Chain A
């Protein structure tokens, strides 16, 4: 056979990822740009909240300016039903989900990769056990499992996020397993073994780092969107962050009675924050997926 160019695993993945970004469509770049902006604002606001660099005292009540609209006096986004600054409370609301969300994502990625590698690399009985675990998680609605855990233990955000992480792991495991099966089909893993590489090198360097990192990054961004939705939902239900500590969920809940009387804003502002954030992380995941995993054909 003349002139056979043998590509290594590394070359294939590096090449495809670089060129994928260059040839990405306009819409996908727009998605990623918007999502990255949202992620940047979330991280920045988290730091501002952690450092307590806030426009107002989050608990200071201005009884002269209750339920003020945006741009009233020094209140950029107005105030809630107790006259507390909404912007400050929105910024602080990020504290409620940011670190817990990262914890959930870390658990999901670590457990998901572990299970995926076990199922794909070893196959056989391990694969069957992982499949059973996946089906087990899929058989239970996530919120039902969370309520069960809340009934057993105290409602605590980190307990809930551990459940979120564990219930997200099977999705990631399935994807990692799919990647490995694809690599096996193209004899990459067989070649790596023939080259005398040790299993840890093959698994961590060649499988997870070179071939799964885009996938894991995408799942991490989608995981943050999930964490926002779960945290706000549980805070709304009264099982998450409690007043007066702000969470976007308990802010909507607290404003709901006033909303029904026609004061829409103090409930709507956190709802818009949820919308922009969740949409941002979803579009970021979507855009990255289209660019690096090549779902869009055009």
Chain B
């Protein structure tokens, strides 16, 4: 098991290096001097530029800049935001926690809704109710999340009058928990992950139910659940959490915009608007780390459920 996981860890390191390298390359290829903001908005050239860079301690070549960035990141130093002048690490930490809450909560919502539907559809493939449930999951997934968000805000503020204003900060207000729950539920239902999870669970469960060992267990009259839950439930859930993490993070960018939720998504949106390179680099790395954590978790569950896999 340790061997498999350490190989996975090495792969993660290799991928994170690749992701940051590609991100750096894209920013490097962009027109204009990425450090123009530090040079007072001027784009310099030749010896003048070299001198200005040397004064700021910026390496001259782009790969030098990349390795300098990596070196700083390893020490927990992400640079200074060009927009706010604040250390990026601090902004990343505060908004990262909020986004993590949003994404993990919404994944739980997706699973809580989609797994029963998918399992039901697998057990009763011909029933009209299973079709109706699956279809409603499809419909909700095809609706644009942002429209769904505005409708939810409209219903809860205007129709039900549950909270007066939408501040988005953690200020004490009435029904604050509901205000926090709303985006979580919305992202869970509307990010497009719902229909895919329903489909995945349906296929996995019907595949497992058709396995020979299940037939044997049934014939013996043994408890089906005890034989099926590992392969038919635990593994698919770990797989979903791992594979849907990027989708949910993408969806979070939209939902945070609708609800004015001050997380990584808002930060990324703002950084894209302002061409705030240190911030967007840090967010890219953070997103990749979260995605790889999900896949690491999946691998761990896979090896734990499948002892054979540790000898692969």
Measured CB to CB, the residues of A under 8 A from B are 27, 132, 135-136, 138-145, 147-153, 155, 225, 229, 232-233, 236-239, 248-249, 252-253, 256, 259-262, 264, 267-268, 270-271, 274-275, 278-279, 282-283, 295, 297-298
Contact = CB atoms under 8 A, between A and B. Distances in A.
Interface range for B: 35 or more
B153 A260 contact: yes
Given A138-B246, A141-B249, A236 B254 contact: yes
A139 B15 contact: yes
A260 B154 contact: yes
A274 B195 contact: no
Contacts of A148: 23, 26-27, 272, 280, 284
A210 B58 CA distance: 55
Nearest to A259: B150
Contacts of B292: 139
Nearest to B149: A256
A260 B251 CA distance: 22
B197 to A, nearest CB: 14
A221 B142 CA distance: 14
Q: Tell me the dominant secondary structure on chain A's binding face.
A: helix
Given A139-B292, A142-B250, A144-B283, A151 B146 contact: no
Nearest to A283: B138
A279 B144 contact: no
20 contacts: A27-B131, A138-B246, A138-B291, A139-B18, A139-B19, A141-B253, A142-B250, A143-B249, A143-B254, A147-B268, A148-B284, A152-B30, A229-B192, A237-B257, A239-B272, A249-B146, A252-B150, A260-B153, A264-B154, A282-B195
B196 to A, nearest CB: 10
B151 interface: yes
B210 to A, nearest CB: 8
A233 B254 contact: yes
B203 to A, nearest CB: 7
A270 B22 CA distance: 36
Q: Sorted from nearest, which 8 A-B pairs have the closest CB atoms?
A: A152-B30, A143-B250, A271-B147, A141-B249, A278-B142, A147-B272, A141-B246, A279-B142
Interface in B232-253: 243, 245-247, 249-251, 253
A151 B138 contact: no
Contacts of B19: 136, 139-140
A229 B144 contact: yes
Contacts of B30: 151-153
B269 interface: yes
Contact of B280 (A151, A238, A248, A252): A151
Contact of B142 (A249, A260, A268, A274): A274
B74 interface: no
B287 A141 contact: yes
Contacts of A225: 142
B15 A135 contact: yes
A264 B147 CA distance: 10
Contact of A279 (B138, B253, B272): B138
Most chain B CB within 10 A, of A141, A155, A297, A298, is at: A141
B146 A140 contact: no
A279 B14 CA distance: 38
Given A148-B272, A274-B142, A267 B250 contact: no
Given A144-B268, A268-B147, A295-B203, A282 B138 contact: yes
Contact of B27 (A135, A151, A155, A271): A151
Contacts of B139: 275, 279
B291 A275 contact: no
A260 B150 contact: yes
Contacts of A135: 11, 15
A225 B192 CA distance: 11
Given A27-B131, A135-B11, A233-B254, A275 B271 contact: no
Most chain A CB within 10 A, of B11, B280, B292, B295, is at: B280
Contact of A142 (B26, B31, B157, B246): B246
Contact of A232 (B11, B22, B144, B246): B144
A238 B295 CA distance: 32
Contact of A147 (B11, B154, B210, B280): B280
B275 interface: yes
Given A275-B143, A279-B142, A144 B250 contact: yes
